[in-house]
Structure formats: structure tokens, C-alpha cells
Chains A and B, each alone.
Chain A
């Protein structure tokens, strides 16, 4: 953990300079507006000051409170996989816990499906968490006294779902994550990867609308982690959940995220698609992460699109989807192809991809 915090990069400006996503809020599943979280004896007072907008930057340097989350504004869209990335201690867990009110934010607003969570009663919160939210934990958080089946069925049991019904549902989920045949194992009889599969199955048992994953794969070995990421992508392609995924691993973030928020010292320093982050890192801090990334493997064809104009079919060496990465598109040029025809999601022609631009990008690494 970095002991001495660099002074926050003008936290008050972030909300202004960073256009709070272009999507209209109607399509947003969860919106955070100027969320703050302080820890320490002075937390209450600072929270009130932040709410009233009277918080002075120099107050944050005092040693009386830790600002674990600083003025975070985000909007998470229906159906996207939103990744929050940052180093250890940057406040990711605290932020994600603020979103479900496991941690009470000191200031700000959390709007879930148009409902302000901070004014919801405890009873209502229980209801929302039961029906609409699921969470996967870094260290699995499996209950040691329950079998795989018992663990996966636990959220349903808490809701009072009958035994046969909840076990049937749990068996479905266990099959979904590929653990069939191990329902009667206890957690400690499983490997780390298998335990996290149980955690995933459990969090999905209630069919949540919003799925939180707090560094789900960090405790796993690199090979298993890769395997679990593939598994996760497979699941997401089937389930199409709205996801908030926490990680400290930038590769994981660009691999899985539709959009990424990069956090530093509690503040969000940049939000964008993997392309945007890789091609245009907002600060030196972000470019530190992007430096070792092979751009061609991240950047999508759509980012290098040129207008189609009036290309004759003779010039075109092939066709490619705008969602393919540059690295996937490159071989299609063949020996001497000059450009590729790019088709969008709907199959219509979106533009062309020029060999020169691809070459220029590949040269940069």
C-alpha cells in the first residue's frame, strides 16, 4: 500500500472535467453522484461538509480521517460490464460496498433503478439485496459448515424459499458453473478455482439484476485465473447481467470490461472503454498501466475506422467486424491488401480499415 498519499488530483474538478458518461441516465442501472467515504473519528463532520460542498482540500490532508472514496460520480449502464481498476488501497472495495450500502457513504447519492438507496429503509435494503443484487468475494466467503449445495442455496434459504425448490435452483447454478457431481463436497474439499465457482453460482442463484464481483480471481493462480476469466466471459455472454467488476489487474480489466474506471487514492481518474484508455490515457498514472499493453490486442477495429467513401470492391482485401481487435484484423490484409471493409453490428458497412493505420499502430506496439 502506498503510505503517503499524493495530494488528490484536484478532486473537486473531476466531476466537471470528466463528462459523466455520455449515456442518458434513463439507461443507467446504477448511478453514483459525488460519493464520499471517510473513515476515522472525524468522518461524520467531513461527510456533512462534503454534502454541503464546504469541504476544503486542506482538510483532507489532516490525519484525522482517511478519505477512502473521494467524490466519485459514475453511471453504470444496463447490461454492461463495468470494471473498476486501481492499485491496492485505492478504495475499490469501499466504493463497491458503498454501492450496495454495505458501507454507508459519508456523502453523495446512490441511485439504483431510479431509487435513491441512501434514503431506503433497512428493510427495503434487505429486500433490494435479496432480489436484485449478487456479490462475489475475493476470498470466496463460503460458509464452512455448508456443502456446495447448501452454500449455493443459502441466499434462497434466507428468503424462505422451500427446500426442494431452492435445491433445484441451486443444482442448476452448480451445473452452470461446471461443478455438477460435487454438490455434497464441503468448501475446504475444493480447490481455490472451484471454491470461487461456488461463490459465483451462489451469487447468481437469486438472478440478480446487478452483479458485483470484488476481485473475484485475485486469490487464484495465474493459470486458473485465466481459465476463470474465460468462464466468466462465457457466463456473461449467456446471462448478459449488469456487472460491476473490481480488479487490480489492468490486463484483466481490458480483457473483461466494456468500460473501465481507473481509481487512485479514492478518486476516479479516468472512465472509458479499453480503447479510449489505451489510446488516450488521461494522466501519467493511467499511462503507467497502459505502457506494457500490446495495443493491437486491445484496440478494436472501430477505433481506427476511416470513412468508406467510394471504395471499389477491387481494393478491398476482405471484410471484418468492427468489434474485432486490430491484431485479429491484421492477418486478413494478406500480402498486399490495402484496406478491409468493416461491417458494424447490424451488418451494414461502417467504413474501411486502412493498412497504413494498422501498420502505424502495430509499430507502436
Chain B
């Protein structure tokens, strides 16, 4: 880090005094206190950015979008024609897949449509999945496929699940191929990589909601817009992973390609991409998982399917229905995740058996076709095989509703007491405190933190971004965001770090903990919200619990990971010096694991921020709410400005913590290892 400079050099030249960092902090805090005490009377603009000075950024963006849609033209075609073209590009394959999975082949429009061919029946689809799972990884995965799809079928989620599956089937290849192409371009041209990498960074920090708004505006409400949003959301990680995978191809393989005289195109498609395939498949797996993460959010702009079921259940506060649809999403996610991972491991293996005839080369493909045909014929004879009868469906909905009601009836007072105690003693005072701070002072402190941790550039970035938030007129919402997110992160760390420490050197415990947090991370974030809402109703407290639950995993993971990484020789040394286990933990292990733990804190903050937007549904009044309102009104400018504000908070937190971790690492003499 070039920027460790100022503080270090100052220390060298000024040995007697305390470090200049400390002096700066004292001065800054003094100035801050002065500001805080007097801003309201002396310089009200420093306390709260005057409305009148707020530029109408949101308005301008909205106007620009309107101009795009109404007037923009490239000469050859108008912008609207372009978006229509994109829609058609997505719509056609989606309709086709949907016809196969769910609606059947229709002729005619809307309600007058006549079905000419039925969709593949549930028996056929389960059969195909089982065959695919078996092809990928044998019997155990096949059983898993039966269990997952069986659950979906028996609990009456089939139709919705197929709608969701159809959009996944369209979004995943598009996202994977798009990401791969971008990755190839970034791999080939450094300049292109430099150009897109900040964009990718930003896209991963802007809450998804924020770009839902312009998509909604440009493409209208419906599955096409939802699929496009999903593709955009899932593509950046694929691009990154593709670049890493391509870079990771052994240099000898690259040399081989050139030595055999490959043209650039042959080099890409015959050598690099196949050789990078295992890595690329990890990316595809990511795309699948992210697409499934998007399911519920995408349903806000018309995706339908399981996501819509969860969302409407949440709105009705029908816990049972929401839970079943949520678990159906998880079942789908688990199935697709495991199957794609298994394929990733085997693609390399059976890519081509040369020579042999079609049947011997593709036994599974033929079997799948046979199953589809057989299930169709069987469905004609036995209707339940074509359509699972409603009478056979199970539901646990009433059970869950009863359970929640029972808890509410019997423990209402206790729950309420806990909630109120926390609200009154922690949440509300902290919120008041934060909202009372003058924005100028906060920006100043962020700048000082940036300066002492890293240097001038980080300081400038922190001040600039905080000021921008203030100028945009969203200071209050931003501070509410910081308050919710900050408290949640503190709670998540208070719970997560001890669990991490406790399980780090107990391999058995760690295995269990790891399994649990892995599962927690595959659950769609909405699922966390539901039971909490049922127990605590809407409000900040509910939001906070959901965020803590969601953001707990990285706190645990990174703590344990950091402790695992500590050099055993140092622990030996500590033990030899006669440290008690407690001293060992505090003085050596935690200290050395600190950089890694800070990365965990960073991740926790990022997850908390992304969850915050979702908690807008339960009535918080932060930036998330702002985005959500923009979404419901299709107000592009407002959505983008609020989204950017969230991204700015994320960037400030991310850069400050990363700089702190780098500093800690440098001080401990650990080399640049570790990383994200």
C-alpha cells in the first residue's frame, strides 16, 4: 500500500510525540464535538443539507430515462425498438421452455388460447431430472432429485416451481454465456478488464432493487423484465470467475496451443475454454445459485412462480404457505446446485468417446427422451400421472400457522418484553444519536478514518461519497441504514465470533457448524424474514433479527478460518513461553487472526446491506424503503439515487475495513496472502 506513508514518516521524524494519527484523531473529534454542539445554531447547513440546495438528480435521471424511451434513436433504430428486440430475444425461448414445462403448446392469445400439446407431465420431468442426476453422480444424487422434486410435487408447488424453473432455464445459459464472453474479452484485453472491473464492483454493491427499477421502466412488468434482471444480477460473478479460470490455465497448455499453430479463435474455443472448464463450471454453478437467489426479488417485477407465492404469502402474513414455497425454492436450489456441481466434476470425464455410435455415446439422452415419451403415454392412460391430483396434495400450512399462533398466545408477553427492552434501550437511543449527528462531522470523521488507515486517496473518497449522500437529500435514510446495519453487524459479530472461536479447534463441532452455515447461506433471504415477522410483526426490530440471522454465517466462517490459519509454530512458541490457553487465544491466536476476521466483518456488512433492502418490506424507513417505494412507482431516478447511496455506504465501509485489514496484516508481518 503506497498510502501507509504519512503516519509512518511522521512517526519517524517526530519521535518524542505520540503518533500523529492519534493527534489527528483528537483534533478531529474535538472539531466534531464543536460542530455537533453548535451546528444547529451557527451553521445549519452543516447539520442538515438544505432541501433547497439539493440538486434534482433523481428528477434528471427520470427525465433522461423518459427521453431514452420516447425519443432516443441511433439513427437506424430507436431505443425502444432496441429494448423490444432484447425482450423478444428473451421472450421467445422463455415461452418455449414454459410451454414444455408448464403451459403446454398453445395456439392463440390470452384467454382464448387453445392447448395443442400438453406440457411434459410431472412424471416425465422427475424422470428426466433423475436420469440427469444419475448421469452426473450416480444413485445418491438421483435419490436427492426424487426427494427434492417429490417434495415440490406433494406439497402442491409443482406449477409455480415449473414457472420458476422455466425462467432459470432461460436465465442461466444467457448469464453464463454472457459472463463467459465478457470474461474472455477481459482476459484478452487488459484495457477492457480495467474498464469493466469497477463496473462489476459497483454492480455487486448496488442493491439488486436499484437496478430493478430501470429494468422495470424499460421492459415493463412481466417475466421478461424479471429474467433480464436475473441475467444482469448473475453475470458479474461469472465474468470474474471466467477471468480467474482462464488465467489459471497452465502456461504449458497455452504454449501447446500456440505450438500446434492454433489461430486465436482455435486457441480460445479448442484450448483455453475446454482447459478452463472445471473453473468455468464453478461459475455456472454460481450463476444458478444467484438466479435462484433472485427468484423472490424478480417476482416483484413480474416473474411469477414460487417467488410470487412467497411474496404474496409474506404480504398476507401466511407463514405456512410462505414457508412451503420458500422451502420449494430451496429444494430447487439444492437440486440444481448439486447436479451442476456434479456435472462440473464429470464434464471433463466423458466429454467425448470417439468413434462409437450415437446411442453408445449418449445413452442418457436417449433414456431421457424415452422417459418423456413414456410418461406422456402413461399420462393418457392414468391421468394422475399427467397431473398430480389436488386431493393428494399435502400442506403443513395450518400446522405452522397454529404453531405460530400458539407461540404468540402463550409467549406474547415474553417476546414483547424482549423486543421492547431492546427497542427502548438500544435501538431507539442509537438511532436518535446517529440521526442527530451533523453530516459534515460524519463526513469529516470518515475522512480522518480513511486518512489514518490508508492515506489521502481513501480520505478523499470517504469524504466525497459521504458528502454526495448528504447532497442527494437522503442523509436521514442513509443514517437509518447505517444504524440498522451497524447494530445488526455488531449483534452478528457478538454471536458469530464466539461461535467461530469455539468451533475453530473442535473439528467435529466445526463440521456441524459448517454444514449449518452452508445451508443458511443457500436459503433465500426472505425465508429469514417470515418467522420473525410472525413473531414480532413489522418494524426495525424484526428487520434487525432477520439481518443478524442472514449475516451470521460470514462472521463465524471467517473467524474460524482466521484461527485455523495461524501458524502452529507461533502457538507452540506461545505455549513454550507459558501462556495459559486464554492468553494464547487472546494474545496470539486472535491477534494473528485479526486481518482475516476483519474480512469477515466486511462480508458481514455487505450481506447486512443487501438484506436491508429486503427488510424494507417490513416497514423500515431507510434507503431500502426508498428503493422499494421507487420500485412500486417505477420511479427510475429515485430508485437509482437511493441505490447508489447504499452502494456508497457499502464502498466506504468496504474500503475502510480492507485498508484496516491490510494495515493489521502489515503490522503483523504477514505477507499479502489471505485476500477476499
What residues of chain A have their CB less than 8 Å away from a CB belonging to chain B? 97, 100, 102, 126-131, 133-135, 137-141, 143-147, 149-150, 154-155, 157-159, 167, 183-184, 186, 206, 212
Residue among B259, B274, B275, B352 with the highest chain A CB neighbour number at 10 A? B259
Within the assembled complex, what's the spacing in Å between the Cα atoms of A183 and B355?
11
Within the assembled complex, what's the spacing in Å between the Cα atoms of A126 and B266?
12
A102 lies within 8 A of B259 (CB): yes
Within the assembled complex, what's the spacing in Å between the Cα atoms of A42 and B448?
38
**Chain A residue nearest to B355 in the complex (CB):** A184
B259 lies within 8 A of A150 (CB): no
A145 lies within 8 A of B277 (CB): yes
B275 lies within 8 A of A97 (CB): no
Within the assembled complex, what's the spacing in Å between the Cα atoms of A28 and B263?
29
Which A residues are in CB contact (< 8 Å) with B260? 129-130, 154-155, 158, 206
Among A129, A140, A147, point to the contact of B354 (Cβ < 8 A). Answer: A147
B261 lies within 8 A of A143 (CB): no
Which B residues are in CB contact (< 8 Å) with A144? 274-275, 277, 348
Q: Decide yes or no whether B390 CB sits under 8 A from chain A.
A: no
Which B residues are in CB contact (< 8 Å) with A138? 252
B261 lies within 8 A of A159 (CB): yes
**Chain A residue nearest to B273 in the complex (CB):** A145
A141 lies within 8 A of B352 (CB): no
Q: List 11 A-B contacts (CB under 8 A).
A: A102-B258, A127-B261, A139-B250, A139-B252, A145-B275, A147-B353, A149-B354, A158-B266, A184-B353, A184-B355, A206-B260
Which B residues are in CB contact (< 8 Å) with A135? 255-256, 259
B261 lies within 8 A of A141 (CB): no
Contacts A130-B261, A143-B271, A158-B261; A137 near B252 (Cβ below 8 A) = yes
A141 CB to closest chain B CB, in angstroms? 4
Q: Decide yes or no whether B262 CB sits under 8 A from chain A.
A: yes
Which B residues are in CB contact (< 8 Å) with A159? 261
Given contacts A137-B252, A145-B277, 13 further A-B contacts (CB under 8 A): A126-B261, A127-B261, A135-B259, A137-B256, A139-B250, A141-B252, A143-B271, A144-B274, A154-B260, A158-B260, A158-B261, A158-B262, A158-B266
Within the assembled complex, what's the spacing in Å between the Cα atoms of A127 and B271?
18
Among A133, A143, A155, point to the contact of B275 (Cβ < 8 A). Answer: A143
Within the assembled complex, what's the spacing in Å between the Cα atoms of A128 and B261?
8
Which B residues are in CB contact (< 8 Å) with A167? 354
Which B residues are in CB contact (< 8 Å) with A146? 274, 351-352
A142 CB to closest chain B CB, in angstroms? 8
B352 lies within 8 A of A147 (CB): yes
Which A residues are in CB contact (< 8 Å) with B354? 147, 149-150, 167, 183-184
Among B258, B274, B353, point to the contact of A143 (Cβ < 8 A). Answer: B274
A145 lies within 8 A of B348 (CB): yes
Q: Decide yes or no whether B41 CB sits under 8 A from chain A.
A: no
A129 lies within 8 A of B253 (CB): no
Which B residues are in CB contact (< 8 Å) with A150? 352, 354
Within the assembled complex, what's the spacing in Å between the Cα atoms of A100 and B256?
12
Contacts A129-B261, A158-B260, A158-B266; A143 near B253 (Cβ below 8 A) = yes
**Chain A residue nearest to B278 in the complex (CB):** A144
Within the assembled complex, what's the spacing in Å between the Cα atoms of A117 and B250?
26
Which B residues are in CB contact (< 8 Å) with A128? 261
Within the assembled complex, what's the spacing in Å between the Cα atoms of A97 and B259?
10
Within the assembled complex, what's the spacing in Å between the Cα atoms of A143 and B271?
7
Q: Decide yes or no whether B349 CB sits under 8 A from chain A.
A: yes
Within the assembled complex, what's the spacing in Å between the Cα atoms of A322 and B260?
40
A256 CB to closest chain B CB, in angstroms? 21
B351 lies within 8 A of A126 (CB): no
Which B residues are in CB contact (< 8 Å) with A149? 354
Which B residues are in CB contact (< 8 Å) with A100? 259
A220 CB to closest chain B CB, in angstroms? 15
**Chain A residue nearest to B260 in the complex (CB):** A155
Contacts A126-B261, A126-B263, A158-B262; A141 near B256 (Cβ below 8 A) = yes
Within the assembled complex, what's the spacing in Å between the Cα atoms of A130 and B263?
10
B: contact size bracket: 20 to 34
Task: Tell me the B236-284 residues at the A interface (CB within 8 Å).
Answer: 250, 252-253, 255-256, 258-263, 266, 270-271, 274-275, 277
A246 CB to closest chain B CB, in angstroms? 13
B34 CB to closest chain A CB, in angstroms? 49
Within the assembled complex, what's the spacing in Å between the Cα atoms of A157 and B252?
19
Among B258, B262, B266, B349, point to the contact of A186 (Cβ < 8 A). Answer: B349
A157 CB to closest chain B CB, in angstroms? 8
Which B residues are in CB contact (< 8 Å) with A154? 260, 270
Residue among A128, A138, A154 with the highest chain B CB neighbour number at 10 A? A154
Which B residues are in CB contact (< 8 Å) with A97? 255
**Chain A residue nearest to B349 in the complex (CB):** A186
Within the assembled complex, what's the spacing in Å between the Cα atoms of A129 and B259?
6
Give 6 nearest A-B pairs by CB, closest first.
A130-B261, A141-B252, A155-B260, A129-B261, A141-B256, A145-B351
**Chain A residue nearest to B347 in the complex (CB):** A145
B351 lies within 8 A of A133 (CB): no
Within the assembled complex, what's the spacing in Å between the Cα atoms of A310 and B23?
102
B259 lies within 8 A of A133 (CB): yes
A161 CB to closest chain B CB, in angstroms? 12
Among A126, A141, A186, point to the contact of B255 (Cβ < 8 A). Answer: A141
B285 CB to closest chain A CB, in angstroms? 18
Within the assembled complex, what's the spacing in Å between the Cα atoms of A140 and B253?
9
B361 CB to closest chain A CB, in angstroms? 12
Which B residues are in CB contact (< 8 Å) with A212? 259
Within the assembled complex, what's the spacing in Å between the Cα atoms of A141 and B251?
9
**Chain A residue nearest to B351 in the complex (CB):** A145
Among B250, B261, B351, point to the contact of A155 (Cβ < 8 A). Answer: B261
Task: Tell me the B313-363 residues at the A interface (CB within 8 Å).
Answer: 347-349, 351-355
Within the assembled complex, what's the spacing in Å between the Cα atoms of A352 and B377?
93
A287 CB to closest chain B CB, in angstroms? 33
Within the assembled complex, what's the spacing in Å between the Cα atoms of A32 and B180?
41
Which B residues are in CB contact (< 8 Å) with A143? 253, 256, 271, 274-275
Which B residues are in CB contact (< 8 Å) with A141? 250, 252-253, 255-256
Which A residues are in CB contact (< 8 Å) with B255? 97, 102, 135, 137, 141
Within the assembled complex, what's the spacing in Å between the Cα atoms of A100 and B252?
14
**Chain A residue nearest to B267 in the complex (CB):** A158
Within the assembled complex, what's the spacing in Å between the Cα atoms of A206 and B256?
14
Residue among A127, A145, A158, A183 with the highest chain B CB neighbour number at 10 A? A145
Within the assembled complex, what's the spacing in Å between the Cα atoms of A229 and B261?
27
A321 CB to closest chain B CB, in angstroms? 38
A103 CB to closest chain B CB, in angstroms? 9
**Chain A residue nearest to B354 in the complex (CB):** A149
**Chain A residue nearest to B261 in the complex (CB):** A130
Which A residues are in CB contact (< 8 Å) with B274? 143-146
A353 CB to closest chain B CB, in angstroms? 44
Within the assembled complex, what's the spacing in Å between the Cα atoms of A146 and B347?
11
Which A residues are in CB contact (< 8 Å) with B347? 145
Residue among B260, B262, B275, B349 with the highest chain A CB neighbour number at 10 A? B260
Which A residues are in CB contact (< 8 Å) with B352? 145-147, 150
Residue among A127, A159, A212 with the highest chain B CB neighbour number at 10 A? A159
Which A residues are in CB contact (< 8 Å) with B259? 100, 102, 129, 133-135, 212
Within the assembled complex, what's the spacing in Å between the Cα atoms of A144 and B280?
14
Within the assembled complex, what's the spacing in Å between the Cα atoms of A102 and B267?
14
Within the assembled complex, what's the spacing in Å between the Cα atoms of A139 and B348?
18
Within the assembled complex, what's the spacing in Å between the Cα atoms of A139 and B256?
11
Within the assembled complex, what's the spacing in Å between the Cα atoms of A154 and B354?
13
**Chain B residue nearest to A103 in the complex (CB):** B255
B273 CB to closest chain A CB, in angstroms? 10
Which B residues are in CB contact (< 8 Å) with A131? 261
Which A residues are in CB contact (< 8 Å) with B270? 154, 157-158
**Chain B residue nearest to A203 in the complex (CB):** B259
**Chain B residue nearest to A170 in the complex (CB):** B354
**Chain B residue nearest to A160 in the complex (CB):** B266
B364 CB to closest chain A CB, in angstroms? 18
Within the assembled complex, what's the spacing in Å between the Cα atoms of A206 and B352?
22
Within the assembled complex, what's the spacing in Å between the Cα atoms of A155 and B266?
11
Within the assembled complex, what's the spacing in Å between the Cα atoms of A316 and B260?
55
B362 CB to closest chain A CB, in angstroms? 16
